[in-house]
Chains A and B, each alone.
Chain A
Amino acid sequence: MPPLSDLNKDMSHEQPKKTRSKKRTFEMIAYSAFCIVGAYYCYHLKGTAGFLSALAFQQEMLIGLLPRIIMALGIASLLWVLLDPEKLKKTIQKRKGWVKLVYATILGAVTPGGPSSSFSILNMFLNSGLGYLIGITYITAWSMLGVQRILIWDIPLLGTEQAGLRFISGFWLPAFAGIFAAWIFGKYEDEKRP
């Protein structure tokens, strides 16, 4: 099994560079249009005072966010090269019962990169007989508790308190989803090993 960085590189070939660059250009145009329309309506509806107040808010937010975003992206990049999915998979396979669920949750939370890496790991789990219990727990943890997402988006944009509330109220829910999935299918499919 190649390291996560190589795995992502392989997946990225699926989407040609031209398509990606077109998509990015379109997104940038859409975001720019959002700013221009916002600026126009802000000035039109709230006048100069409202416009200046919006500028002050933007300045404050950017000054607060930029260092965090830069740090968080650095951390995410380092995690991306340091984590080895094969080792992580073996770690989960060695565990029994609910400990396996805890490991799947933690692994989901720390898996760096976008969906290409997490879905590759998920496929690896499903193909190696870890079943829906672990697969659903892992992918739900990745989607809702991803450390990278919490560091890059939750904390900088919504604040530590809100990010903490989201984590505390939801850290057990991926395991709940996994157990629920296994229960619906009448048996713990992770017991099926090739």
Chain B
Amino acid sequence: MMSPSLLILVALLFILGYKAKERNDGSITKAYERFKQQIAQFLPRMILVVIGTGFLLQIIPADLISTHLGKDAGWLPVLYGGFAGMLVPAGPAVAFTTAATLAGSGAAPAAMVAFITAWCIFAIHRILIYETHLAGPRFLLIRCVVAAPIPFIAGSLTHLMTNV
């Protein structure tokens, strides 16, 4: 039985595929080429990260995570998650599987929201490779200053929503 999220993905794929086919300008071939590149890039990493995560979940003591990052730890998980997310110097495969590992070991949803949001906004590798060159140091500085509270706001709102 297909889950609703998978059904949505299938429906979207068909709608967009139909749109691309309708254009009749080679869009569908371009998309297929891009798809092959993306599969070659992501799939092996994904599989390896899932395998590594599986082992890690067995090793990490669940008590340790639930004490510091669990629901009962109050607002602290939001702080921990936010700052940890800012420091992850890797791509989405590592960031999201780390989050999945922590969530599987009892970390609070608020901590995960703060962690992922912080990683999304402040991914160090992206800032160094792209932002400093393409947007300039002035833009980078402004963005970092105004976006700094975002992971903590998002985490705090999640904390309020999940603890009502």
Contact = CB atoms under 8 A, between A and B. Distances in A.
A176 B162 CA distance: 23
Q: Interface residues of A: mostly helix, strand, loop or mixed?
A: helix
Contact of A153 (B51, B92, B121, B135): B92
A57 B155 CA distance: 28
Nearest to B27: A81
A179 to B, nearest CB: 9
Contacts of B73: none
Contact of A116 (B45, B130, B146, B158): B130
A102 interface: no
B11 to A, nearest CB: 10
B109 interface: yes
Nearest to B155: A169
Of the four ranges (under 10, 10 to 19, 20 to 34, 35 or more), the interface on chain A belongs to: 35 or more
Contacts of B31: 74, 77-78, 80-82
B108 to A, nearest CB: 11
A155 interface: yes
Given A28-B45, A31-B52, A169 B161 contact: yes
A184 B139 CA distance: 13
B135 A144 contact: no
A155 B96 CA distance: 10
Nearest to A135: B139
Interface in A152-189: 152-155, 157-158, 160-162, 165-166, 168-170, 173, 176-178, 180-181, 184-185
Interface string B47-76: 111111111111100000000000000000
Interface of A: 5, 24, 27-28, 31-32, 34-35, 38-39, 41-42, 45-46, 50-51, 53-55, 57-58, 61-62, 65, 67-82, 115-116, 119-120, 122-123, 126, 132, 135-136, 139-140, 143-144, 146, 149, 151-155, 157-158, 160-162, 165-166, 168-170, 173, 176-178, 180-181, 184-185
